[in-house]
Amino acid sequence: MNEVLKAIKSRRSIRSFNSEQIKQEELDLIIEAGIYAPSGHNTQPWHFTIIQNLDVIKHINDVSKEVMATIDIAWIRNAGLNPDYDITYKAPTLIIVSGRKDALSGRTDCSAAIQNMLIAAESLNIGSVWLGFAAFCFKKEGEAEKIGIPEGYEPYYGVALGYKLQDKQITAPKRNYDVVNYIR
């Protein structure tokens, strides 16, 4: 099977990581994959804030949960109130993906970059998970500046990266193939 298709089909959200930091060469390849994502009119509106300081990762977790605990949606509020829940799953590397606020399709373009990074991580046998909850941290005044998000950018998502705690293949959930129609 084609190696790209193999990585796409075998990639799963990993939520258990070793504490060992990933190698810089591997991280560079993952970031480069994000940089090579398609973007509307080739605007490349993304910015990647790479955090490997565990105290900063914990801070993002704590502030995100603090904000989540105030949300009207019960399952989000409950996750924020759960003392055992860690939004980053104790990953040693966290990437905050931000988009230029004036970009025409910033969130979509950043999502394409994230998908590239997730597939690249899988191809390197590095675990990854896309984190929507990480953005809650930046709803609190001053957090974006504190974490180093550049002015003019909005943090959209996080990506947790690390070596997989268990390197066993997780079976893919059943896929729906009845979502395609052809007009020829």
Say if residue 167's pLDDT is above 70: no
Per-residue model confidence (pLDDT) at position 169: 67
Q: Does the structural domain 3-163 have CATH classification 1.20.120.10?
A: no
Mean pLDDT throughout 72-80?
Answer: 98
Say if residue 168's pLDDT is above 70: no
Say if residue 174's pLDDT is above 70: yes
Mean pLDDT throughout 63-75?
Answer: 98
Check if the beta carbon of residue 147 is closer than 8 Å to that of residue 173.
no
Domain locations in the chain as residue ranges: 3-163
Mean pLDDT for the chain? 95
Buried b (16+ CB within 10 A) or exposed e, 3-24: eeeebeeebbebeebbeeebee
3-state SS, residue 46: strand
Token look-up 């973007």 returns 39
